[in-house]
Amino acid sequence: MFTPNFLGMMGKPIAGQLGMAVAFTIILGLIIHILRMRVFHPLRRYPGPWLNSITQVPAAWALLKARQPKAYRELHEKYGPIVRVAPNELSFINVEAWDDIYGFHKSTPNFEKSPVFIGAVSPLNGQTGISLANNEEHTRQRRALAAPFTNRALLQQQDILQVHVDKLMTALRTKARNKESVNLGEWYTYTTFDIIGDICFAEPFGCLDGGESNDWARAIINIFKAATWDQAIRRVAGTGTLLHKALVKIIIPAEAAQWRTIHFSNSKAKTLARLADPDRQHPDLIKHILDSEDSRAALSPTEIILNMVLFISAGSETTANTMTGWTYFMLRHPAARARATAEVRAAFASPRDIKWETVRALPYLNATLEEALRLFSPAPSNQPRVVPLCGAVVAGCALPAGTTVSVAPWAAVFSPINFADPEKFAPERWLEEGADPRYAGDRHAASQPFSTGPRGCMGKNLAYFELRLVLAHLLWHFDLEPTDSAAGRECMRRWDETDMDTYQTWMKPDLWVELKEAKR
């Protein structure tokens, strides 16, 4: 006997109606969200791609694809000096925006870092290093950490730097005498890692001695990748949400945890060992902290560890990138290379004369360095900040509280509103005497490779000295030429086209160079 299935017959239209209701709700919600973002949002009048104005996905994708500086440069070239890069976020290239966003504010609070930002150092036991600290904590820690970065401390650290520069020159001299091509990008990395290890806690990495990198150095470079991926995830999932935690496990490779573990555990061990040996007479950062009663009282052991973890990661690969970028520009511009070389060799009868006080007085060498820092900044990615509760004016734009803002560093230096012939390598634009009138209107403050304001790079003076010392020694000892090989030409092509990823800093290609000892 046939028995009708009344429940099944009734269930189908109910299920269909439920599905339609869900679809209708989703569509209605999307329409309302789009109307809010496009018609009623306070940032609706600012130009930018339609999709960016309604979702964080394009901004997150630029980070995941490791091309944020290039993507934002393209947006600014299309839409102008102010671009809406996300629903509640603006990117600027105006000179004024640097101080408005990152500078000191006397009558209003300084801008806090966006919760989207994460660096190479995560919080530990509820404490943070200076990089992730809020403004109040940042001020306390920066004051406590000031002693190792004074000019007096820098003079004491000069001998540390010289040891490693001598090792580099010895290794390069051996390569030159054996007529071997040299990947200077690698050797700069060995040098900067050894220097920063010695400067932080009197323990170089040993890269120059072995002529190769090690697991710790490789882990530090990879940490930048993991931090950038995490930033992308935070944009779409929020910070600390269940979705954020789930996407971290899906997107960030498991070995990323190992990268952080290697870096943190090694840094912690070296820091604790140095803290336990206060009588050692070595002018590293921890020694300066131990010698300062104020620093010892203001910083907990955990904060000292976290800041050493930060200084190791921030003061190594970024400096090596700048050295490599400068060398590339010198290879591509023989006239500039010849002029800088002549200046260095005329100034110093002996390499022992190349010191902190003397190397600063070379106008053309310093101009080439400033131009390399402009075109190949070690920190080319946007550093987002949040407008405080009182609101703020940025580059003449009144913005409500909670708006995320930043300067696009790479886009700013390539914009004709800031520099004449912005894509041209022209050290003359930085000279005070004999300056080229074509560059008289350049807005130098648009180039801020070390950022500015209360969160500007604490190690700026140390970085400048390290850069000047290494590069002056290189020009004094050697003549440089690009390698005429297939591998060398391919590397130069990648440099010509900036064909490299960006994870907070550049993932630089190799740079093969022929070295010949200078004739005297």
> Residues at the annotated binding site?
457
Q: What is the DSSP string of 154-170?
A: HHHHHHHHHHHHHHHHH
CB atoms near residue 263 (< 10 Å): 23
Contacts of 463 (CB under 8 A, 6+ apart): 315, 318, 319, 322, 450, 457
| Secondary structure letter of residue 110 according to DSSP | P
Kindly give the pairing relationship between strand 89-92 and strand 404-407: parallel
3-state DSSP assignment of residue 512: strand
C-alpha separations of 189 from 195, 213, 319, 466 in Å: 10, 8, 8, 12
Tokens of 145: 């950490």
CA distances from 324 to 3, 186, 372, 507 (A): 82, 9, 10, 11
Residues marked as binding for heme?
457
Tokens of 333: 């511009």
Q: In what order do the strands lie in the sheet with 512-517?
A: 182-183, 512-517, 478-482
- The position carrying tokens 């074509």 is 438
How far is C-alpha 101 from the geometric centre of its chain's CA atoms? Answer: 17
- Could you give the CA distance from residue 294 to residue 161 in angstroms, rounded to a whole number? 27
CA 353 vs CA 115, 179, 359, 368, 494: distances in Å: 47, 28, 9, 21, 36
